[in-house]
Amino acid sequence: MSTTLEVPTDPVTARELPYLTAVNEALAQSMRADPDVFVAGEDIAAYGGVFGTHRGLLEEFGARRVVDTPISEAAIIGLATGAAVCGLRPVVDIMFMDFLGVAMDQIANQAAKLKYMFGGEATLPMTVTTWAGAGLSAAAQHSQSLEAWLCHVPGLKVAMPATPYDAKGLLVAAIRDDNPTFVVGNKLLLGATGPVPEELYEVPLGVARTARDGDALTIVALGRMVPEALAAAERMAADGIEVAVLDPRTLSPLDVDTIVSSVRATNRVLVVHEAVRFGGFGAEIAAQVQEHAFDHLDAPVARVGAPFAPVPFSPALEREYVPDSARIEAAARELVTRRLPGA
């Protein structure tokens, strides 16, 4: 297997790849490097995956390592759990994150618990790729962002890549990890392009990325909200308001230190995610900030998220439902003017 590294990328000279291609390359290079890695899921073999993330794998690696499964998410997660316990490194795909509900017993009571139940003797090097988010008018059962479900279960790791670079590097890190790890992509990011090195590299799990420096406010954004937050920050910079944007990259483990360090420097924080605001993972980030940086806050922790309702089918309603850069900018500008009593 190739040496573990995070390759520094020169944005001027590095090749540009779509997010989708970066995922495909991570899978192919990992399978070449380790014969124990195989992929399985619905329509991933002959069809190449519903979003094209597995194209070309069947032709290169054959049907023993690229497996089309029945339409049973419980069976897919069960397959991964059993194969991982037996020493393989399965990478299984759940095409829509909403479908994790069908497999939650396997996820929460089997995969997440086996290492604990066997006193640490069992290892579960299994990876689950899944696709979240709205914006395709796919309606309420195919558009949800449910990462908070996974983060609430001890024993699982959860990554949310926001860039093609991280899509490849975090997926490679997940495949090499000896714990059940979910890599949650966003459907609307699949066409986004960015620099991606050709080498096989890891982006370490549990290390946040500072996407933009600033001193007026920290925005902690998850997944597809990272580019939306960056767009909002650029517009605010035109008015002399410099906003820091942090991308946690992984939610479990969460890089609390980097988040807290930024908040202590800017004294204000806005947490943004596409998921429903109530009970979303942003509440955990807000709690961590309150516990570790309360004395540094000049204003209350603010959050932007979707309303407490199913995702609408109607394109017009869906656009109103999903947070965007305009909504983030409005919340950030309001937060910059707010102050705690006595601050």
Average pLDDT over residues 218-243: 98
Contacting residues for 62 by C-beta, under 8 A, at least 6 apart: none
Q: Which fold has domain 16-195?
A: Rossmann fold (3.40.50)
pLDDT value at 4 more than 50: no
Q: What is the mean pLDDT of residues 23-31?
A: 98
185 has which bridge partners?
A: 131
Per residue in 269-304, pLDDT (tens digit) is 999 999 999 999 999 999 999 999 999 999 999 999
Q: Is a pLDDT exceeding 50 seen at residue 134?
A: yes
Is a pLDDT exceeding 90 seen at residue 209? yes
pLDDT at residue 98 above 50?
yes
Q: Where are the beta strands (DSSP E) in 160-309?
A: 181-186, 193-195, 209-212, 217-221, 243-247, 250-252, 269-276, 302-306
Confidence at residue 46, expressed as pLDDT on a 0 to 100 scale: 93
Predicted pLDDT at 338: 81
Taking domain 209-337, whether its CATH number is 3.40.50.920 is answered by yes
**Any residues with CB less than 8 A from the CB of 142 and at least 6 apart, and which?**
96, 98, 136
pLDDT for the residue 253: 98
> Residue 6's pLDDT band (boundaries 50, 70, 90)?
very low
DSSP 111: I
Q: Which residues of 56-95 are buried (b: 16+ CB within 10 A; e: fewer)?
A: ebbeebeeebbbebeeebebbbbbbbbbbbeebbbbbbbb
- Start and end residues for every CATH 3.40.50.920 domain found in the chain: 209-337
Sheet-wide strand order for 243-247: 209-212, 243-247, 217-221, 269-276, 302-306
Six-digit token string for 243: 């906003």
Which are the catalytic amino acids? 142
Per-residue pLDDT tens for 169-183? 999 999 999 999 999
pLDDT greater than 80 at residue 13:
no
Share of the chain above pLDDT 70, in %: 95
Q: What is the mean pLDDT of residues 319-330?
A: 97
Q: Smallest Cα–Cα separation from 21: which of 136, 177, 189?
A: 189
Q: What is the pLDDT of residues 255-278, one digit of tens each?
A: 999 999 999 999 999 999 999 999
Burial (Cβ within 10 Å: 0-12, 13-18, ≥19) of residue 1: exposed
CATH 3.40.50.970 occupies which residues in the chain?
16-195
Can you give the pLDDT at residue 125?
97
Query: Average pLDDT for residues 16-38, to the nearest whole number?
Result: 98
Confidence (pLDDT) at 42: 97
pLDDT level of residue 343 (50, 70, 90 thresholds): low
* Number of alpha helices (DSSP H) and beta strands (DSSP E) in the chain: 12, 14
Share of the chain above pLDDT 90, in %: 93
To the nearest 10 degrees (0 to 180), the angle between helices 164-176 and 19-33 is 30
Residues 266 and 260: their CA atoms lie apart, in Å, by 10
pLDDT score for 3: 34
Question: What per-residue confidence (pLDDT) applies to 341?
Answer: 72
Mean pLDDT across the chain: 94
State the Cα–Cα distance between residues 242 and 43, nearest whole angstrom: 45
Please tell me the chain's helix, strand, coil percentages from 3-state DSSP, rounded to the nearest 5.
40, 20, 40
